[in-house]
Structure 1
């Protein structure tokens, strides 16, 4: 293993929950290198947890162990698992859909259910509300430090048996691309879609081309306007909207030095849809 442990949760940092997970991991092996992916996942938002793993995981060395704890079903019958990805990374998490984007876009080689008779913090068996500390931090640290092998996590599960969130594919039909707003670039308010660069380029586009962009959720139209396709934010004037290719090679929507999400009260997830149509000619009278 790499001795690298990367943790993401929806706990925030206002209390001792994350610190307790660190402590458990370091008691397994003080030489572990522990890093934070984020602890600001919106509460119970499994979709965003899944996406943030997808956003991050391939940039880490092989054999890095990730712990993801966004677990509204803690204490229920949902399984605790470790998934080995096609890129040789490991994800320790509840089986609640957290590995959905990884499974779809990167691939899962093998999944094992955590055997809590072996891989659980000693003397924690009467607690059912903090598996992040008692099961995931403990198991993840043991795996990352080489105290256990992947095969010792627990029994193997079918990769097809794990819980999956519904995913939609972006499509190009009749000169229009329809896609999904998968997640927000939280700090800057940009919208990250599921529209891949290669699909978008089937429009035969070049920088500076103009597009009509429509955004709706499950109940109403939220936004409709014209914007240009730029290489970066510098290709638009201050306060202007633009389309661009984001760091995951997907189409993003932004306002130059502004928050698109806040300006138009836009969120992300399966109910948030985007339509992009190329405008061939605009005439101003």
Structure 2
């Protein structure tokens, strides 16, 4: 029996026993499982960030890896519990609440099955409907990773197109101006990660060391407008200076050298947070 890798993600934190309970369930299924974590520090209820962290991580794991992602503000309601298979034959066990938005668009999902809880639910888990991460997702993920069940035995197949998702517009270039969104933060350092690919940015024909204008809007309100240097790394800017660079996902990032851009300018993430980049320099706006 082939045993695959099992990787957990949640918004549970590690200040109580929730994550440990999920580990315990998985190891009770098969003590040979190799378990790792993406993160358990997703902000509570932030399904968007859970979706992005899967995109950030899943493509770098081997085929056959099983991921369990639990960011589930609708636990106990009628949202579906599912397992999906990606184009690289990895599996994600998760509630169907938008968590798969980025993977579906950027990586590809080939099949979806709804978890049959009459078979794939932790025995003796009673009538609890508030900890599906332990009772349904960790248990099902462990059984799948351990080879006790295969994908077809998860439950009935449902259409890929029926998955719940968020609006996820692509970055675009028009009239020498790129428009995108702030998709996520590089949390520990406060850098902004955009959805603007390096390939689109390169169409502005900006050389390393040249400056571009960056404008950031939250809805209809402009919150930042200034020029900054395009650099290879943070060493290409002075202490506290803004920099635009290519991040580890080959998209454009915005940073302050040894400071948090997000905290300094109170920047958030998601579809409402738009960013515009162009070559013309403007006078610094006062806020």
Q: Same fold (TM over 0.5)?
A: yes
Partner in structure 2 of residue 186 of structure 1? 187
Q: What are the superposed Cα offsets for residues 159-217 of structure 1, whole Å, 9 maximum, x if unpaired?
A: 00111111111111111111100000000000000001111101112101211111110
- Structure 1 CA distance for aligned equivalents of residues 196 and 7 of structure 2: 28
- Cα distance, 1:2 vs. partner? 4.8
Unaligned ranges ≥5, structure 1: none
2:216 paired residue number: 215
Q: Which residue of 2 aligns with 1:172?
A: 173
Q: Is the 8 A contact 1:2 1:61 kept in 2?
A: no
Partner of 2:149: 148
2:245 corresponds in structure 1 to 244
Name the SS for the 1:270 alignment partner: strand
Task: Tell me the SS of whatever aligns to 2:26.
Answer: helix
Contact 1:211 1:229 in 2 (8 A): yes
Q: Deviations over 1:142-170 (max 9, x none)?
A: 00010100110000010001111111111
Aligned match of 1:6? 7
CA offset at residue 279 of structure 1? Answer: 2.7
- Cα distance in structure 2, aligned partners of 1:281 and 1:45: 35
Cα separation, partners in 2 of 1:84 and 1:239, compared to 1, 3 Å: same
Distance 2:282 2:69 in 1: 48
1 CA distance for matches of 2:281 and 2:228?
13
The 2-side partners of 1:250 and 1:33 are apart by 31
Deviation at 1:270, TM superposition (A): 1.4
Q: Judging changes above 3 Å, is the alpha-carbon distance between structure 1 residues 153 and 281 closer, same or farther for their aligned structure 2 residues?
A: closer
Structure 1 residue 281 displacement after superposition? 10
8 A Cα contact 2:214 2:276, kept in partner: yes
Please tell me whether the aligned partners of residues 171 and 178 of structure 1 are also in contact (alpha carbons under 8 angstroms).
yes
Aligned length: 282
> 4+ residue stretches of structure 1 with deviation over 4 A?
none
Alignment of 1:157-168 (within 5 A): 157-168=158-169
User: What does residue 69 of structure 1 align with?
Assistant: 70
Superposition map of 1:49-128 within 5 A: 49-128=50-129
Tell me the distance in 2 between the aligned counterparts of 1:6 and 1:26: 13
C-alpha displacement at 1:3, in angstroms?
2.4
Distance 1:73 1:124 in 2: 19
For 2:127 and 2:53, locate their aligned partners in 1 and report how far apart those are by CA, in whole Å. 32
- Give 2:22's aligned residue: 21
Structure 2: distance between partners of 1:262 and 1:169:
26
RMSD of aligned alpha carbons: 1.3
Secondary structure, counterpart of 1:272 in structure 2: strand
TM-score for both structures, normalised by structure 1: 0.97
- Structure 1 contact 2–63 (Cα < 8 Å) conserved: no
Mean Cα deviation higher: 214-223 or 91-100: 214-223
